[in-house]
């Protein structure tokens, strides 16, 4: 697969990543991402038919614990670190598009 | 400069006070830190307080921990309750975690004295500490050169004598490569050997916390203290910490050690020469050393730069301006997310988020991320095949010695190549460590990497101990 990354590709990925990008960044990332993906062509080209993927280096098992209450982090301490909070909750800008 | 083993012994027996020890180290910090910039935060008052507590317990005849009075520096991606933890990023500006990392808690119980939080490449993404939002750390051995990264602040703190011990994190070489560049010992334990609870995540299937120290025995001691099962990390191996101190002096007689052929290619000739000399001294010490092929390691770098950014793009989605750190003013929530992240992340972090998001996006997932995960299996299989014939493996830690500032900042791929020898161990989840062994043509230290199979820390420390003994003997003769 030819790794040609267009400025439009970069803008669309930036939207997915919730990252505002400048025109200069779009140009730069298009070149730099293509270079890294080009380097990855050796991996793309490998025959891995029948090879299972490794998601994790250890054989993982589900870990269960007894369902007993235990102390969590302190809510006041957490909210004190938030950019904005109100009535014991995180406060955020308007989410829905209707007029205020 | 005294080792951690010596300091802990002297403090425990009352031969020295923890207060004296901490003043000595704070003095070094005051003298040289303005030039080196190893720390994002120096904890002078807290360190004095912790040292006084240790002294009070010694005076009262109470038992003190194994690191009683030993100054220690923490990489600034380890959560410390109520103390700023920044990951060297503007996006976490002003944030104080509401809990301690498990390693922080264990070290406190052991009597360690925290002297500061160390600088790193933003979110541990980098190989030179040049990606810190707070400016780079300088290599204490030659301030025109980088200390390596991402745990450059921790490596520099130990090399400068600011603390005998430090903790770092290693996702693709971030402990071992800076250890090599600064001439100290750095250890990446087996994945799951040390709890990651409270380590701010970069690439969760690769990240592991580990020690820095001036001597192999000090790293063994520190690893014994921090390792062992933790119910708060579901990937923590349900086993007690291994016993490592005896291994350091156990020698290598009868061990089979393989020199990885693929990781000697494309390496600076002076670095490769030191690694071959290391193989010779191990052979002289009774080990059977041979070259071995671990063929799939050549795909490690490519696989890593698909897997690590993919996991990072997911882990870093939590920095959205809602719960902590920076928030940009914007009228609606999507613009708030996008502008907060644009203002808070530096260029390398943005680049990796973009790369990871691309590699995980519809139509590319299997060709990139899925394929990289299958290659990860191939690398582990090749290591397993080598370990049927060898107890431990040997390679350079990095292809070069410490490079100059700015040498690789324009070309991300050139910077990534600095981790070519260290990445395979992260992909396999195996332990590996860097031991200083001689110098390059430029007079800067060379690190030799000792690799071992999963949970093979004991044999790894035997080899490391033998290398250190030989390197010390050579220095004494010179």
Residue A98 has pLDDT above 70, yes or no: no
* Class of residue B273 by CB neighbours under 10 A (exposed 0-12, middle 13-18, buried 19+): middle
Q: How far apart are CA B225 and CA B107, in angstroms?
A: 7
The C-alpha atoms of residue B191 and residue A18 are separated, in whole angstroms, by: 31
Nearest to A43 among B320, B375, B428 (CB): B375
In B, minimum Cα distance to A9 occurs at B358
**Inter-chain touch B377–A9, beta carbons under 8 Å:** no
**Least CA distance to B366: which residue of chain A?**
A44
- Contact residues, chain B, for A16 at CB < 8 Å: 357, 361
Which residue, among B98, B304, B351, would best test binding to A if mutated, counting the most A CBs under 10 Å from its CB? B98
For B324, the closest chain A residue by CA position comes to: A82
Looking at residue B477, its pLDDT comes to 62
Strand residues in B175-280 grouped as ranges (E) = 185-188, 208-213, 256-260
- Interface contact B413-A36, CB threshold 8 A: yes
Inspect the interface and report whether the beta carbons of A92 and B336 lie closer than 8 Å: yes
Please give the model's pTM, rounded to 2 decimal places: 0.97
Q: Which CATH number fits domain A7-44: 3.40.33, 1.10.20, 1.20.58, 1.10.760?
A: 1.10.20
Domains, chain B, ordered by start: 4-247 (3.90.1300.10), 256-302+368-477 (3.90.1300.10)
DSSP character at residue B367: I
Which residues, in sequence order, are bridge partners of residue B227? B194
Domain assignments of chain A as residue spans, ordered by start: 7-44
Task: Report yes or no: B72 and B190 within 8 Å, Cβ to Cβ.
Answer: no
Tell me the C-alpha distance between B473 and B311, whole Å: 44
Alpha carbons B320 and B433: distance in angstroms, whole number: 36
Q: Where are the beta strands (DSSP E) in B268-338?
A: 288-292
pLDDT at A59: 78
- Identify the residue among A93, A94, A100 best suited for mutation to test binding to B, counting B beta carbons within 10 A and taking the highest: A93
Token pair in block for residue A69:
């209450």
- Chain B interface test: which of A40, A74, A75 (most B C-beta within 10 Å): A40
List the Cα angle A14/A32/B206 in 5-degree steps.
80
In this prediction, residues A73-87 reach a mean pLDDT of 94
What pLDDT was estimated at residue B413?
86
In the predicted structure, residue A63 carries a pLDDT above the cut 50: yes
pLDDT of A96 strictly over 60: yes
Provide the sign of the torsion angle of the four alpha carbons B145, B148, B150, B152, taken in this order.
Answer: negative
Write down the ipTM of this complex: 0.92
**CB pair distance less than 8 Å for B336 and A14:** no
Q: Give which of B477, B394, B472, B403 is closest to B444, Cα–Cα.
A: B403
| Tokens encoding B271 | 């670095």
pLDDT score of A99 more than 60? no
CB distance B305–A39 less than 8 Å?
Answer: yes
Q: What is the C-alpha separation between B451 and B461, in angstroms, rounded? A: 10
Contacts of B166 (CB under 8 A, 6+ apart): B72, B73, B74, B75, B118, B151, B154, B155, B157, B158, B211, B212, B213
Catalytically annotated residues of B: 75, 150, 174
pLDDT for the residue A61: 77
- Asked if residue A60 has pLDDT above 60, the reply is yes
Nearest-angstrom CA–CA distance, B192 and B235:
6
Give the Cα separation of B145 and B157 in Å (integer): 15
Measured between beta carbons, which residues in chain B are less than 8 angstroms from residue A83? Answer: 321-322, 324-327
pLDDT for the residue numbered B363 = 87
B324, A81: Cβ pair inside 8 Å?
Answer: yes
How many A×B Cβ pairs under 8 Å?
168
- Contact: A94, B368; criterion CB under 8 Å: no
Please name the residue of chain B whose CA is at the shortest distance from the CA of residue A36: B413
Instruction: Report CB contact under 8 Å: A33, B375.
Output: no
pLDDT for residue A1 is more than 50: no
Residue A95: what pLDDT? 82
Among chain B residues, the shortest Cα distance to A75 is held by B98
Give me the tens of pLDDT residue by residue for chain B, a chain 478 residues long: 599 999 999 999 999 999 999 999 999 999 999 999 999 999 999 999 999 999 999 999 999 999 999 999 999 999 999 999 999 999 998 899 999 999 999 999 999 999 999 999 999 999 999 999 999 999 999 999 999 999 999 999 999 999 999 999 999 999 999 999 999 999 999 999 999 999 999 999 999 999 999 999 999 999 999 999 999 999 999 999 999 999 999 999 999 999 999 999 999 999 999 999 999 999 999 999 999 999 999 999 999 999 999 999 999 999 999 999 999 999 899 999 999 999 999 999 999 999 999 999 988 899 999 999 999 999 999 999 999 999 999 999 999 999 999 999 988 888 999 999 999 999 999 999 999 999 999 999 999 999 999 999 999 999 999 999 999 887 766 5
- What residues of B are in contact with residue A58 (Cβ under 8 Å)? 191-192, 235, 237, 429, 454
Nearest to A39 among B339, B413, B427 (CB): B413
């Amino acid at each position: 697969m030819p790794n040609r990354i267009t400025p439009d590709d970069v803008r669309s990925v930036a939207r997915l990543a919730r990252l505002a990008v400048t025109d200069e960044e779009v140009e730069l990332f298009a070149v730099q991402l293509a270079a890294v993906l080009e380097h990855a062509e050796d991996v793309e080209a490998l025959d891995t038919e029948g090879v299972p993927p490794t998601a994790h280096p250890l054989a993982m098992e589900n870990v269960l614990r007894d369902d007993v209450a235990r102390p969590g982090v302190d809510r006041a301490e957490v909210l004190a670190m938030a950019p904005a909070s109100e009535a014991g909750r995180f406060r955020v800008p308007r989410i829905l598009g209707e007029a205020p | 400069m005294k080792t951690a083993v010596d300091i802990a012994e002297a403090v425990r027996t009352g031969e020295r006070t923890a207060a004296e020890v901490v003043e000595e180290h704070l003095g070094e910090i005051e003298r040289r830190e303005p030039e080196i910039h190893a720390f994002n935060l120096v904890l002078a008052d807290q360190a004095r307080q912790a040292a006084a507590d240790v002294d009070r317990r010694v005076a009262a005849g109470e038992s003190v921990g194994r690191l009683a009075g030993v100054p220690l520096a923490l990489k600034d991606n380890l959560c410390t309750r109520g103390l700023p933890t920044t990951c060297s990023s503007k996006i976490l500006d002003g944030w104080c975690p509401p809990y301690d990392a498990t390693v922080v808690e264990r070290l406190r119980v052991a009597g360690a004295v925290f002297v500061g939080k160390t600088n790193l490449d933003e979110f541990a993404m980098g190989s030179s500490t040049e990606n810190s939002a707070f400016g780079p750390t300088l290599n204490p051995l030659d301030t025109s050169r980088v200390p390596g990264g991402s745990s450059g602040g921790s490596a520099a703190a130990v090399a400068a004598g600011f603390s005998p011990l430090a903790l770092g994190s290693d996702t693709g070489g971030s402990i071992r490569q800076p250890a090599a560049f600064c001439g100290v010992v750095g250890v990446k334990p087996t994945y799951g050997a040390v709890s990651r609870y409270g380590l701010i995540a970069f690439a969760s299937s690769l990240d592991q916390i580990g020690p820095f120290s001036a001597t192999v025995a000090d790293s063994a001691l520190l690893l014994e203290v921090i390792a062992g099962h933790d119910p708060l990390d579901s990937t923590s191996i349900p086993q007690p910490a291994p016993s490592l101190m005896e291994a350091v002096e156990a020698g290598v007689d009868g061990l089979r050690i393989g020199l990885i052929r693929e990781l000697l290619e494309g390496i600076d000739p002076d670095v490769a020469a030191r690694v071959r000399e290391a193989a010779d001294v191990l052979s002289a010490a009774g080990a059977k050393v041979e070259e071995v092929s671990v063929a799939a390691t050549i795909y490690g770098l490519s696989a890593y730069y698909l897997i690590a950014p993919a996991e990072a793009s997911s882990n870093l989605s939590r920095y959205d301006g809602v719960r902590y750190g920076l928030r940009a003013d914007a009228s609606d929530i999507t613009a708030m997310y996008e502008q907060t992240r644009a203002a808070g992340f530096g260029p390398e972090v943005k680049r990796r988020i973009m790369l990871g998001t691309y590699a995980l996006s519809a139509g590319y997932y299997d060709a990139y991320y899925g394929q990289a995960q299958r290659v990860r299996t191939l690398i582990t299989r090749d290591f397993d095949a080598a370990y049927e014939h060898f107890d431990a493996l040997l390679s350079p830690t990095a292809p070069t010695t410490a490079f100059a500032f700015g040498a690789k900042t324009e070309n991300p791929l050139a910077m990534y190549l600095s981790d070519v020898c260290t990445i395979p161990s992260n992909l396999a989840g195996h332990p590996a460590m860097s031991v200083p062994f001689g110098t390059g043509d430029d007079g800067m230290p060379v690190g030799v990497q000792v690799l071992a199979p999963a949970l093979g820390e004991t044999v790894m420390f035997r080899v490391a101990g033998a290398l250190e003994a030989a390197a010390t003997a050579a220095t004494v003769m010179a």
